[in-house]
Structure 1
């Protein structure tokens, strides 16, 4: 668990056990405590690849299915437009970076791009 995300484990220990420095405890004791963390802890979410709590994800599925059932009975559904947005998709999709990472082949290329951006071109 430490190798997966030590920060998440530290936060979980602080929140659930009020342990702020797990190095003060024997390894076996820390392992027992880590194993005893609940399914809604940060490290458990990380292990399962979840971005949100599983109960919230279930509620989002219920909302999505209800919205689709209601939508299916409308004129918009027959025409294939105005499909409701998915809560599950919003909760689970990866955030897109604001700006893509850029690489330059040389310092000269960087300087040219820097000047272009400074001049507003």
Structure 2
């Protein structure tokens, strides 16, 4: 990578994600004050951080690593297989997606919300659902 490009990347890291950069440099290289070193060296070491480092994840706008995404996806699939093999007719809801929750895509489920005008109306519906009509 060209030195000029490394310096631009370092400048972006410092401007937008400095705390993450400091943590990554301390963890990876035991560098606690990157400002005391030559700028080109700091840029080279910063660009050499792993792709799952805090600063690189933040720059990419990602909350978790690809490995964590894959593990959450596996858990979701296993949960779905278990749900599909169970007796779904007994009212077991489809399991929520862990991956969607982590990524912030899980939306509140409002599909079965009902409102009742009176307590008696609620009790009548409760009894109907419980099979106590009569």
**TM superposition score normalised by structure 1:** 0.68
Q: What is the 5 A alignment of 1:89-104?
A: 89-93=100-104
Is 1:59 the counterpart of 2:68? The answer is no
The residue aligned with 1:6 is 18
Compute the RMSD of aligned alpha carbons. Answer: 1.9
The residue aligned with 1:49 is 61
Q: Which runs of 4+ in 1 moved over 4 A?
A: 78-81
> Which has the larger Rg?
2
How many pairs align? 93
Q: Which runs of 5+ in 1 are unaligned?
A: 95-121
How far 1:19 sits from its partner (Å)? Answer: 0.6
Distance 1:48 1:68 in 2: 30
Distance 2:20 2:79 in 1: 34
| SS of equivalent to 2:85 | coil
Q: Which runs of 5+ in 2 are unaligned?
A: 1-12, 106-134
**TM superposition score normalised by structure 2:** 0.62
1:30 corresponds to which of 31, 42, 48: 42
